Chain A
Amino acid sequence: QKEVEQDPGPLSVPEGAIVSLNCTYSNSAFQYFMWYRQYSRKGPELLMYTYSSGNKEDGRFTAQVDKSSKYISLFIRDSQPSDSATYLCAMSVKNQGGKLIFGQGTELSVKP
């Protein structure tokens, strides 16, 4: 079993839709949770990070963490064609030297 599981998609939605992206994890030691966006042939770009259960909002993006269920989500409201990219969840443990464990990534396509 992988430490971090993420549905690879692809996920296709119409413009304006609410998008829900999810990851589950098995290692209860994970303390930091991040979402990255990666455009084709580019490096990942940090969207959001959090370290506590609950919700964190940033504009159209909401990151949600449920440590009891070992489940994290990223919601995108009013999705735009420019949101089309691969979204990767990532997690880290404080005493592992900052090593990130990534999910497989979900490929999202927002159609105009």
Chain B
Amino acid sequence: GAVVSQHPSRVICKSGTSVKIECRSLDFQATTMFWYRQFPKQSLMLMATSNEGSKATYEQGVEKDKFLINHASLTLSTLTVTSAHPEDSSFYICSATKETFYGYTFGSGTRLTVV
């Protein structure tokens, strides 16, 4: 149990366009979903925390207008990278949990390349 599906797994887009990444909990209802960004050989950096039906909470330094998060249901959260630029190229990973403090399940990640 506890499967999180994330797609697309990789996407290449042109500079200035927007990209949407989906994160779905397949067999459980996720009270909270998290979005992370990971650079090569570096750890996961939390971008934002989203709870169903409420606005996402962004970490300091993360532009909320650039990284739009929507958590429309208990099984779906989306991250939209708006007006993407090459510096937004990265590995984006979501995670979901119904247990608040541990037992997080991660998606398989999305590699975004902006050209």
Query: Which residues on A are within 8 Å of B, measured CB to CB?
Result: 6, 8, 31-32, 34, 36, 41-46, 49, 51, 88, 92, 94, 97-100, 102-105, 107
B44:A44 contact, CB within 8 angstroms: yes
**Which residues 51-80 of B sit at the A interface, judged by CB distance below 8 A?**
57
User: Would you call B25 an interface residue if the criterion is a C-beta within 8 Å of the partner chain's C-beta atoms?
Assistant: no
Please, how many angstroms separate the alpha-carbon atoms of A99 and B102 in the complex? Answer: 9
Can you list 13 contacts pairing A with B, beta carbon distance less than 8 Å? A6-B43, A32-B101, A32-B102, A41-B91, A43-B93, A43-B95, A51-B101, A51-B102, A97-B49, A99-B46, A100-B46, A100-B104, A102-B44
Number of A-B contacts (CB under 8 A): 67
Residues of A contacting B46 with CB < 8 Å? 99-100
Please, how many angstroms separate the alpha-carbon atoms of A42 and B111 in the complex? Answer: 10
Please, how many angstroms separate the alpha-carbon atoms of A34 and B103 in the complex? Answer: 9
Q: A100-B46, A105-B43 are in contact. Are A94 and B101 (CB under 8 A)?
A: yes
Q: How far is the CB of B103 from the nearest CB of chain A, in Å?
A: 7
Q: How far is the CB of B65 from the nearest CB of chain A, in Å?
A: 22
Contact residue among B57, B101, B102, B106 (Cβ-Cβ distance under 8 Å from A44): B106
Residues of B contacting A44 with CB < 8 Å? 44, 93, 106
Residues of A contacting B97 with CB < 8 Å? 98
